[in-house]
């Protein structure tokens, strides 16, 4: 595939992520912070988000597995994940967290477990999509092209 | 990174532009710290990012547990902190800063993902300069920098008395090193001045008391928008 095709693919793919609500305007904000002096910024932040999220999801799984669930603790983890997903524009993850927090307040273990599943799903989706996006970027750069800016 | 202000040489060791605004950013989230750091750097600020209120107080030399004797106090022009943090909240940090004679004049900005009016009010009442709802955007940081520090950084030759946007500049001029007969506000022996201090001023031109012109937008529409929540 030539650079032009790769770039078009990138634009289409990014646009679809915005359309599907996987990413929101905050992701565009991050892209605007990337430049020659900091060419890997988005990748770095998103990588931090991945590491952070995986840790939180593990903590959540363990917390909800306890005989007596500490909902305050669960809520605080979800709050963290909500914050970081919001900061990178991972909209669906963020929304899943918002729903999750409501059930934490109700102290409803069953519902929380369902929410956790939902959050994990949205997270996996976002991760896969973003991984594909970065791969596309790499291909463009390797082919000597510039990565197009795609607003939402 | 302590800066000794006892000579006439370049005070700032790392940056070529010694008029850079120095911001202390406090956030327990690694992702958010990285973002706020980048946002600040892109708006030409020097940044120190820490992960807790405790750490921030230590850097400022305000930690009660650590004696500040012999501890080089950091010089900051602004503090931006998350509200929700384990241990010490941003609100508690704000209070500690406002209680300190050295740092009470430093503008403190609170960031929070929750747009709760009561929370915003509390922070503003406690002396917070502004309140930003997360996620933080470039426009937010630019706006802050512009109305607090003007568009050329900190101390400049054509400082004019009056005008809110020059409030910070005036306070820096009341630094004891600055010899001037300007009608500045009562000098506080604060170490809040930028690293460049007033020794870098080309001449001791007395600020005129001519009518103030405000170079930066005092009440930018965005700010007004954010403030309407408090009405």
Q: What is d(CA A16, CA B121) in angstroms, rounded to the nearest whole number?
A: 40
> What phi and psi, each to the nearest 5 degrees, are found at residue A66?
-70, 150
More confident residue, B167 or B99: B99
**Which residues of chain B lie closer than 8 angstroms to A59, CB-CB?**
none
pLDDT of residue B66: 61
Average pLDDT of the segment spanning B99-113: 95
Q: What is the DSSP letter of B165?
A: G
pLDDT of residue B152: 52
Q: What is d(CA B46, CA B40) in angstroms, rounded to the nearest whole number?
A: 7
Alpha helix (H) residue ranges in chain A: 3-19, 25-32, 41-64, 71-88, 91-106, 109-142
pLDDT of residue A150: 86
More confident residue, B1 or A14: A14
pLDDT of residue A149: 85
> What DSSP string runs through B180-196?
----PSPP-----S-TT
**Which residues of chain A lie closer than 8 angstroms to B34, CB-CB?**
44-45, 48
Q: Is the pLDDT of residue B221 over 80?
A: no
pLDDT of residue B195: 42
Contact between B195 and B21 (Cβ < 8 Å): no
Helix (H, G, I), strand (E, B) or coil at B14: coil
pLDDT of residue A113: 97
Contact between A22 and A125 (Cβ < 8 Å): yes
How close A50 comes to chain B (CA, Å)?
10
Residue B184's pLDDT band (cuts 50, 70, 90): very low
> What phi and psi, each to the nearest 5 degrees, are found at residue B40?
-70, -40
More confident residue, A57 or B220: A57
**Which residues of chain A lie closer than 8 angstroms to B49, CB-CB?**
none
* ipTM computed for the complex: 0.95
Q: Which of A45, A87, A97, A130 to mutate to test the interface with B (most CBs of B within 10 A)?
A: A87
Residue B18's pLDDT band (cuts 50, 70, 90): low
Residues 6+ apart with CB under 8 A from B12: B3, B18, B20, B195, B196
- Percent of chain B exceeding pLDDT 90 equals 48
Contact between A42 and B34 (Cβ < 8 Å): no
The model's pLDDT over B24-50, given as tens digits with 9 standing for 90+, comes to: 999 999 999 999 999 999 999 999 999
Residue A9 corresponds to which tokens in the numbers above?
């693919």
Contact between B166 and B159 (Cβ < 8 Å): yes
The model's pLDDT over A45-94, given as tens digits with 9 standing for 90+, comes to: 999 999 999 999 999 999 999 999 999 999 999 999 999 999 999 999 99
pLDDT of residue B71: 55
**Which residues of chain A lie closer than 8 angstroms to B29, CB-CB?**
52, 80, 83-84, 87
Query: Across the interface, which of B38, B84, B135 has its CB nearest the CB of A38?
Result: B38
The structure's pTM equals 0.74
Residue B67 corresponds to which tokens in the numbers above?
């004696």
Residues A79, A24, B50, B198: what is their CA dihedral angle, to the nearest 10 degrees?
A: -140
Q: Is the pLDDT of residue B15 over 90?
A: no
Q: Is the pLDDT of residue B208 over 70?
A: no
**Least confident among A65-79, B118-132, B144-158:** B144-158
Residues 6+ apart with CB under 8 A from B118: none
Q: What is d(CA A44, CA A60) in angstroms, rounded to the nearest whole number?
A: 24
C-alpha Rg value of chain B to the nearest Å = 17
Average pLDDT of the segment spanning B208-227: 41
> What phi and psi, each to the nearest 5 degrees, are found at residue A146?
-100, 145
Q: Is the pLDDT of residue A33 over 60?
A: yes
pLDDT of residue B174: 46
Average pLDDT of the segment spanning B128-145: 96
Contact check, Cβ <8 Å, B32/A84: yes
How close A41 comes to chain B (CA, Å)?
9
Average pLDDT of the segment spanning A6-20: 96
* Angle (deg, nearest 10), helices A3-19 and A109-142: 160
Residue B164's pLDDT band (cuts 50, 70, 90): very low
Q: What is d(CA B124, CA B226) in angstroms, rounded to the nearest whole number?
A: 12
Annotate A66-96 with b (16+ C-beta within 10 A) or e (fewer).
eeebebeebbbbbbbbbbbbbbbbbbbbbbb
pLDDT of residue A127: 98
Q: What is d(CA A113, CA B199) in angstroms, rounded to the nearest whole number?
A: 62
Q: Is the pLDDT of residue B142 over 50?
A: yes
**Which residues of chain A lie closer than 8 angstroms to B113, CB-CB?**
79, 82-83, 86
Number of A–B residue contacts, CB under 8 Å: 52
Q: What is d(CA A44, CA A24) in angstroms, rounded to the nearest whole number?
A: 18
pLDDT of residue A24: 97
Average pLDDT of the segment spanning B97-101: 96
How close B59 comes to chain A (CA, Å)?
25
Contact check, Cβ <8 Å, B42/A44: no
Q: Is the pLDDT of residue B148 over 70?
A: yes
B48: number of Cβ within 10 Å: 18
Q: What is d(CA B73, CA B130) in angstroms, rounded to the nearest whole number?
A: 24
């Amino acid at each position: 595939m030539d650079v032009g095709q790769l770039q078009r693919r990138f634009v289409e793919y990014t646009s679809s992520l915005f359309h599907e609500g996987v990413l929101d305007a905050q992701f565009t904000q991050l892209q605007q912070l990337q430049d020659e002096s900091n060419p890997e910024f988005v990748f770095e932040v998103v990588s931090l988000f991945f590491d952070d999220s995986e840790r939180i999801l593990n903590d959540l799984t363990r917390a909800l597995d306890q005989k007596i669930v500490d909902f305050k603790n669960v809520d605080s983890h979800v709050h963290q994940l909500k914050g970081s997903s919001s900061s990178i524009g991972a909209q669906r993850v963020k929304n899943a967290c918002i729903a999750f927090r409501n059930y934490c307040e109700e102290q409803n273990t069953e519902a929380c477990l369902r929410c956790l599943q939902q959050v994990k799903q949205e997270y996996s989706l976002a991760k896969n999509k973003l991984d594909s996006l970065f791969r596309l970027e790499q291909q463009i750069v390797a082919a000597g092209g510039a990565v197009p800016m795609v607003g939402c | 990174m302590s800066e000794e202000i006892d000579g006439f040489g370049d005070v700032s060791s790392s940056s070529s532009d010694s008029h850079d605004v120095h911001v202390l950013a406090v956030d327990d989230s690694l992702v958010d710290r990285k973002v706020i750091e980048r946002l600040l750097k892109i708006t030409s600020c020097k940044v120190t990012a820490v992960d807790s209120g405790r750490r921030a107080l230590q850097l400022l030399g305000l930690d009660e547990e650590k004696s500040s004797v012999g501890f080089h106090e950091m010089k900051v022009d602004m503090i931006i902190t998350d509200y929700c943090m384990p241990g010490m909240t941003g609100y508690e940090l704000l209070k500690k800063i406002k209680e300190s004679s050295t740092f009470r004049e430093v503008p403190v900005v609170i960031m929070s993902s929750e747009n709760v009016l009561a929370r915003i009010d509390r922070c503003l009442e406690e002396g917070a300069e502004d309140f930003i709802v997360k996620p933080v955007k470039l426009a937010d940081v630019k706006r802050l920098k512009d109305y607090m520090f003007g568009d050329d950084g900190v101390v400049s030759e054509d400082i004019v008395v009056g005008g809110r946007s020059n409030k910070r500049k005036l306070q820096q001029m009341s630094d004891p090193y600055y010899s001037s007969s300007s009608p500045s506000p009562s000098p506080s022996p604060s170490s809040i001045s930028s690293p460049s201090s007033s020794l870098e001023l080309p001449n001791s031109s007395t600020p005129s008391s001519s009518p103030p012109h405000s170079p930066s937008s005092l009440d930018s529409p965005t700010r007004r928008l954010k403030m309407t929540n408090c009405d």
